[in-house]
């Protein structure tokens, strides 16, 4: 019965992943999940009128989201239970004027976003997705757009032209080797931004002159799937970190209608490039929101600081599962396994926010829920990654633990996670 339920939950995740090719789509789909569950949209630029049990959310610039359920504690006793995750994934973003005609091919220049495993982007059918800012009735509107059909490919050099590729590994120069091919040149008509904008505007029913801004990125059109002899694995793009976004939103929806404490989910953008952006974990978004929620309970700023001390934050992001082909890359006594429960991430250099107290608190929560917990420490010869955890903990002063589900091939165009883990 547990396995059947896990497969159902994993398929719900796959639906979210398949329909979320960019941070803006991930945010929109999370918002739709909340709307379907009875949450009300509020807006940052308007007053908030919230009472105990109210379910609410707001979006910030299309790529970040805050959702919550107001608790019924007195403001002098209130605290926040928080899960934080991020909507962005590493990939290739289109340059604003990156329109190339070269050797008879049309190409789009790209910038590398974050730290993708670039080799995995080659020889894949790629589509475009993102957001368009257009003029409508003399005001600006952000519109989500995706091509759906594959428009591009980044072909490998044949082995006859790169004999050492298997022995020395694939070596790529971003500027020269990454621009995807999107077609053959049309003699006498150079490829231009106007041509691309024309295709997009036509699909949206707009005039090209009304598209005033855009942010587009490539994505793999191959959908995610359950894999393995017993469907043990979830294989898809963007598992890092949309799996945690989906888990956090699902947990909030399934939580009590009138909790004692206020339950919140923050979905930030731009974690993969450092978080120091308007929509990132390094922005004032969390602290501004928490302060406004105290005011919504008729509290004062003096009530905010005790509430922060009483609160708890879970920074949810993927963790590295043990890989049988690369055992020397892992800390020997901290092997993390797929389908063995969430992972607490610990780092002496404070690349993760976990402390003895916050880790113990998470273990107690998991133990009460009957969920096993694993522990991860990075190999000492390798530099560790980081998360939004240390950033949001530093800005808010809220005790924070860094956790996440185990996965393989993190930052590949297709990553692998455990089917059972997503239900836990």
What's residue 194's pLDDT? 83
If you average pLDDT over residues 18-41, what whole number do you get?
A: 98
Q: Where in the chain is the domain with CATH 2.30.250.10?
A: 91-220
Spatial separation of the C-alpha atoms in residues 129 and 148, rounded to whole Å: 8
Q: Starting at the edge strand that comes first in sequence, how are the strands of the sheet with 126-136 ordered?
A: 139-146, 126-136, 211-220, 91-102, 105-113, 181-184
If you average pLDDT over residues 349-378, what whole number do you get?
A: 97
Percentage of the chain beyond pLDDT 70 is 99
Regarding pTM above 0.85, the answer is: yes
259 vs 368, higher pLDDT:
368
Tell me the average pLDDT of the chain: 96
* Contacts of 280 by beta carbon, 8 Å cutoff, 6+ apart: 64, 268, 269, 270, 271, 274, 388
| DSSP symbols for 101-131 | EETTEEEEEEEEES---GGGGTT--EEEEEE
Asked if residue 182 lies in contact with residue 151, where contact means CB atoms within 8 angstroms, the answer is: yes
Which of 59-63, 74-78, 298-302, 392-396 shows the lowest per-residue confidence on average (mean pLDDT)?
74-78
Query: What torsion do the CA atoms of 19, 25, 26, 30 make, to the nearest 10 degrees?
Result: -90
424 confidence band (pLDDT: 50, 70, 90)? confident
**pLDDT value at 351 more than 70:** yes
Rg (CA), the chain: 23
If you average pLDDT over residues 167-180, what whole number do you get?
A: 96
**pLDDT value at 295 more than 80:** yes
Q: Where in the chain is the domain with CATH 3.40.630.10?
A: 2-89+237-423
For domain 91-220, which architecture applies? Answer: Roll (2.30)
Strands (E) in 249-362, as ranges, are 262-268, 312-316, 319-320, 343-345
**pLDDT value at 366 more than 80:** yes
CATH T-level assignment (fold) for domain 2-89+237-423: Aminopeptidase (3.40.630)
Closest to 238 in 3D by CA, of 19, 9, 403: 19
**pLDDT tens figures, 38-88:** 999 999 999 999 999 999 999 999 999 999 999 999 888 999 999 999 999
* Contacts of 271 by beta carbon, 8 Å cutoff, 6+ apart: 86, 88, 241, 280, 281, 317, 387, 388
**pLDDT value at 103 more than 60:** yes
Asked if residue 259 lies in contact with residue 75, where contact means CB atoms within 8 angstroms, the answer is: no
């Amino acid at each position: 019965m547990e396995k059947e339920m896990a497969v159902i939950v994993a398929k719900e995740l796959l639906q979210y992943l398949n329909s979320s090719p960019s941070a803006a789509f991930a945010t929109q789909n999370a918002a739709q999940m909340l709307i379907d569950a009875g949450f009300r949209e509020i807006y940052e630029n308007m007053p908030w009128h919230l009472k105990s049990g109210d379910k609410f959310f707001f979006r910030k610039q299309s790529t970040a989201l805050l959702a919550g359920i107001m608790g019924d504690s007195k403001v002098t006793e209130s605290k926040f239970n928080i899960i934080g995750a991020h909507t962005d994934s590493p990939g290739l973003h289109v340059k604003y004027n990156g329109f190339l005609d070269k050797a008879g091919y049309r190409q789009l220049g790209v910038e590398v976003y974050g730290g993708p495993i670039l080799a995995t982007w080659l020889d894949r059918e790629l589509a475009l997705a993102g957001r368009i800012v257009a003029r409508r009735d003399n005001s600006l509107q952000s519109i989500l757009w995706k091509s759906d059909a594959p428009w591009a490919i980044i072909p490998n050099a044949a082995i006859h032209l790169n004999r050492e590729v298997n022995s020395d590994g694939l070596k790529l120069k971003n500027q020269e080797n990454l621009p995807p091919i999107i077609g053959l040149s049309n003699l006498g008509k150079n490829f231009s931004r106007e041509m691309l904008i024309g295709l997009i505007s036509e699909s949206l029913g707009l005039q090209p002159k009304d598209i005033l801004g855009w942010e587009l990125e490539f994505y793999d059109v191959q959908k995610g799937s359950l894999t393995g002899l017993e469907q043990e694995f979830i294989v898809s793009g963007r598992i890092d970190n949309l799996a945690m976004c989906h888990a956090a939103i699902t947990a909030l929806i399934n939580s009590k209608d009138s909790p004692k404490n206020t339950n919140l989910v923050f979905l930030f953008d731009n974690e993969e490039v450092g978080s120091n952006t308007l929509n990132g974990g390094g922005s004032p978004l969390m602290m501004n929101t928490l302060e406004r929620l105290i005011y919504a309970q008729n509290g004062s700023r003096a009530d905010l600081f005790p509430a922060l001390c009483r609160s708890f934050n879970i920074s949810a992001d993927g963790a590295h599962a043990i890989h049988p082909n690369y055992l020397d890359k892992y800390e020997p006594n901290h092997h993390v396994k797929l389908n063995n429960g969430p992972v607490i991430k610990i780092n002496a250099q404070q690349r993760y926010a976990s402390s003895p107290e916050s880790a113990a608190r998470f273990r107690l929560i998991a133990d009460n829920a009957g969920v096993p917990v694993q522990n991860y420490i990075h190999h000492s010869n390798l530099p560790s990654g980081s998360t939004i955890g240390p950033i949001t903990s530093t800005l808010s002063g809220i005790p924070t633990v860094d956790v996440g589900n185990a996965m393989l091939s993190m930052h590949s165009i297709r990553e692998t996670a455990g089917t059972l883990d997503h239900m836990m």
